[in-house]
Structure 1
């Protein structure tokens, strides 16, 4: 667990005194930002130091420092929170952030644009609401995903409880978070006894890199379980009770352009474990990554590389050695698709939930849709339960039948669409924030995907494909936070206004996409997709999805055929 001559970040962690560093001292200084070492440490506390990159050139020309600001991310296991907790986050968005909320692809909430002198007040308020930002970022287990659908069955509630148990168990034990942000008041019980401070699972240098876990309900891959470091796929017994989990290991989306030893990878089935043993198996897998993950090269530090390079047989043997007993073979998995849970659904207890679409997870008011105001009024009025989804949408839960019509009327009055069938192609589109706030972004994502989606939607109507499902995912860099290496089409930022286009994933999100075209200018992206839509329309088998078609014929065929189509064909005429 030692640094052993590891990377600069490893040394920062080792010398941090369990994530304290000089955060408190620098927080007290009258400055706009933290030093490089503290920037690494505040991630563990749920904070990213960023800048408004739209202002970079003007401020540089004026001789001013960068427009520093911070992103604060709340860790919300399974995306479940109360109406009161949501309203606190919304209050903070207006008081300290940029007036928007951002639902993440991992079912959390991000506040953007927080200034340094407002960080303590922001995080203290989040903790007072019995939420936390601890371990929402950093080299630890991050937010644990779970199918967010309210308890339509006892097993669904059990799956969500397992996610909460994992989150609690793998939370860092360091008291630094509460010392710095909550003045030592242990609002949440995540600390260790006062006479001892250790990290029994992580050790003093924590994990080599970020770590992600998701818990899927049988048949519904709404959390992209194959993209997780550990994926748990529930299995029910004949009575509908939770029997156990098939465990997948080694998933992950991130890669680096031009570095062949980095790549997206799907999780590999490892074993089956009874429900009662899931927590111990998860902890043991985390310790394998702790001890064998690459601490020299952070671009090669995720657990997927341990699994890929050492092999699943080695990994299982190491798991069994540490557990002290054998584990069962993984069970075959069957998927019925991906349920985005939008629209009205019965909960099974006489109540209802409504899934509301949020474009790219950004909750804000515009001239056409007062989403932030409308959601706030709805939540204040009806006090529903809240669930965030892996597709960046929101579920309003525990509603009575009598509340359905007035809730619909309130949302409609604010321009909020509640019928998912009217959303068109944008229903299945996702983007990461990218520019102007993310320091890793090399291209736009959230700000440009809507126009790309609109144009592709128009093309589909012209080609007679209106109403067909098509998933589109865009990331502003190859780290792939919007999971663009899954689904029908992925757009990955290559450099300013240039994107790699990937195609050929499946609707169940169990297959990676393949690179179709590299460095395509943004303005040419829809035109590059149009030939593929035409070929899909004319050559697909009955019921074949776009991704399945592209996978079946292959990208070489697609490239060759796309070049042979003439203007009359591309116009949609036969």
Structure 2
């Protein structure tokens, strides 16, 4: 844990423009309602383009047809992507059928996408359908409050359907943390649900100008690190005794986003502040958020995340302030171990006797593909399933709480609709990508559309070098913002331009090490050539049980990143 103070508590200077728009937004209302009535444009204008993010939406357009529309003197085909707020990723079959219907009837692409934030996204919702979307979600008990913007976002929780009692308790804490840290403004209900207008006078935790930058929180149940806690600002590591939750180790300051060419930005692991009892959980959550609210960099948004605050003021200084605000003294962290972060595929039986089927959903994209009607398949299962669904942070789906008597029917449906395929390799199950083109406005290179073919090539290389039963934690992102969590991969590819990527090596299976740049700005063929040589060396010279990331560190192919600020760009 870093302990030296290296800078001031408050960064002085001209505030970023986002601070102005938040301050002038009347607690996130802006002029969104008026913009909704404007039929001249399909998009949102001025500050509202940013403010709708606090309501869970991003304005996008189909970049595949942007140039053609420009030739026709048409504006881009503006639409929004919505990310739902689903703490812990649990959704009922009734809710699922409702979101399936909306995706079919009212989105441009007809798909549901499971995300690395353990929730679902609608893509391609046109302006006339936006209000209907929010009202549809509200009618089934779902919202999208604070799933984007400078707030605490959807709270993740380890998808652990085996130790059901412990998981249920951890899941309840994820809900409590999410609710505690939500914005108190009624802007969402007023704008989208036609709620009564109520004057907002304060935001006791988030403040009038909210947080300096996005903030992400997880609840983690070891030994599974399926939520990649080191990618998040605030993490509560569940500590159990005799199967009962007794408290949390608190990890602060993780984050993966960076900016190409800007060495003041870097991915960073979270620091361990220590152990707290359960009754201090919400106090500590609020204390960490308010400390970051007050000390975070509001001048330079590229350095505004919690990780940079810790590196500027020192982790010990930050920890002491959290203790003061929460009225708690952190105890020494309790022992825990991460053994992996992948999902348990296929059937597992929980200690309560219920059965759980984890389905691999490539890139999290649920759509009816030719010969593989995945979206229809999940809907058919939802019609008969008596338990719940659990979306994982690895973009997969768990059919949870299945009685023994229902197993055969659900398995048959999963096979019939292409949701359950025994031929899926371990490599494919351990590969992941962000959305990127055609919808993400930040994408520099392909990711979701590139990954399937890349994995096929990697499968071929593993077979060529006699390690077909092994796998590499492989992740691709279309830009350096980190949505696909490539900066915790053994092999991470980060988009640099069309068909060009930076390759990072040296993460591990447990998700506790940041990889380091190995090759810069290489094309798809060069990626395969580099991986061919790397896998050949790994196959020939690895130690027993050694992953390719550990191999890369041990053999000094790349240096280990121990302290990101010092080592990542070195």
In the superposition, the TM-score normalised over structure 1's length comes to 0.93
2:543 to 541, 544, 552: 541
CA contact (8 A) 1:3 1:14 kept: no
Is residue 373 of structure 2 the alignment partner of residue 370 of structure 1?
Answer: yes
Q: Report how far residue 81 of structure 1 moved.
A: 1.0
How far apart in 1 are the matches of 2:75 and 2:554? 52
1:519 to 499, 518, 521: 521
The residue aligned with 2:19 is: 10
Residue 27 and residue 463 in structure 1: after superposition, are their counterparts in 2 closer, same or farther (change >3 A)? same
How far apart in 2 are the matches of 1:219 and 1:407? 28
Is residue 453 of structure 2 the alignment partner of residue 451 of structure 1?
Answer: yes
Is residue 61 of structure 2 the alignment partner of residue 51 of structure 1?
Answer: yes
Instruction: Give the alignment of 1:220-299 within 5 angstroms.
Output: 220-237=224-241, 239-299=242-302
The residue aligned with 1:473 is: 475
Residue 168 and residue 325 in structure 1: after superposition, are their counterparts in 2 closer, same or farther (change >3 A)? closer
CA contact (8 A) 2:354 2:403 kept: yes
Is residue 29 of structure 2 the alignment partner of residue 27 of structure 1?
Answer: no
Q: Secondary structure at the match of 2:384?
A: helix
Q: Report how far residue 423 of structure 1 moved.
A: 2.9
CA contact (8 A) 1:13 1:206 kept: yes
CA contact (8 A) 1:78 1:144 kept: yes
Instruction: Give the alignment of 1:134-145 within 5 angstroms.
Output: 134-145=145-156
CA contact (8 A) 1:146 1:159 kept: yes
Is residue 411 of structure 2 the alignment partner of residue 408 of structure 1?
Answer: yes
Is residue 165 of structure 2 the alignment partner of residue 163 of structure 1?
Answer: no
Is residue 315 of structure 2 the alignment partner of residue 305 of structure 1?
Answer: no
CA contact (8 A) 1:408 1:418 kept: no
How far apart in 2 are the matches of 1:142 and 1:118? 24
Q: Secondary structure at the match of 1:161?
A: helix
> Which moves more between the two structures, 287-296 or 366-375?
366-375
Per-residue CA distance 1:436-474 (angstroms, 9 max, x = gap): 111111111001111001111011112111111221100
Instruction: Give the alignment of 1:67-78 within 5 angstroms.
Output: 67-78=77-88
Q: Report how far residue 218 of structure 1 moved.
A: 2.1
The residue aligned with 1:119 is: 130
2:494 to 488, 492, 495: 492
Q: Please list every run of 5 or more consecutive structure 2 residues that lacks an aligned counterpart in the other structure.
A: 1-9, 561-570
How far apart in 2 are the matches of 1:129 and 1:549? 49
Pairwise CA RMSD? 1.9
Instruction: Give the alignment of 1:84-233 within 5 angstroms.
Output: 84-97=94-107, 98-150=109-161, 152-184=163-195, 197-233=201-237
Q: Report how far residue 196 of structure 1 moved.
A: 5.6
Q: Please list every run of 5 or more consecutive structure 1 residues that lacks an aligned counterpart in the other structure.
A: 187-193, 559-574
How far apart in 1 are the matches of 2:444 and 2:389? 34
User: Which fold has the larger relative contact order, with Cα–Cα distance below 8 Å and residues 6 or more apart in sequence?
Assistant: 2
CA contact (8 A) 2:360 2:429 kept: yes
Is residue 310 of structure 2 the alignment partner of residue 317 of structure 1?
Answer: no
How far apart in 2 are the matches of 1:410 and 1:219? 31
CA contact (8 A) 1:487 1:509 kept: yes
Q: Report how far residue 233 of structure 1 moved.
A: 0.7
The residue aligned with 2:564 is: none
Q: Report how far residue 415 of structure 1 moved.
A: 2.1
Q: Report how far residue 117 of structure 1 moved.
A: 1.1
2:363 to 360, 364, 385: 360
CA contact (8 A) 2:275 2:331 kept: yes
> Which moves more between the two structures, 134-143 or 521-530?
521-530
Q: Secondary structure at the match of 1:433?
A: coil
How far apart in 2 are the matches of 1:27 and 1:557? 52
Q: Report how far residue 2 of structure 1 moved.
A: 13
> Which moves more between the two structures, 245-254 or 549-558?
549-558
How far apart in 2 are the matches of 1:441 and 1:469? 27
How far apart in 2 are the matches of 1:163 and 1:4? 36
The residue aligned with 1:327 is: 330
Residue 315 and residue 351 in structure 1: after superposition, are their counterparts in 2 closer, same or farther (change >3 A)? same
Q: Secondary structure at the match of 1:200?
A: coil
Q: Report how far residue 317 of structure 1 moved.
A: 1.4
Q: Report how far residue 381 of structure 1 moved.
A: 2.3
Q: Secondary structure at the match of 1:299?
A: helix
Residue 376 and residue 437 in structure 1: after superposition, are their counterparts in 2 closer, same or farther (change >3 A)? same
Q: Report how far residue 219 of structure 1 moved.
A: 1.5
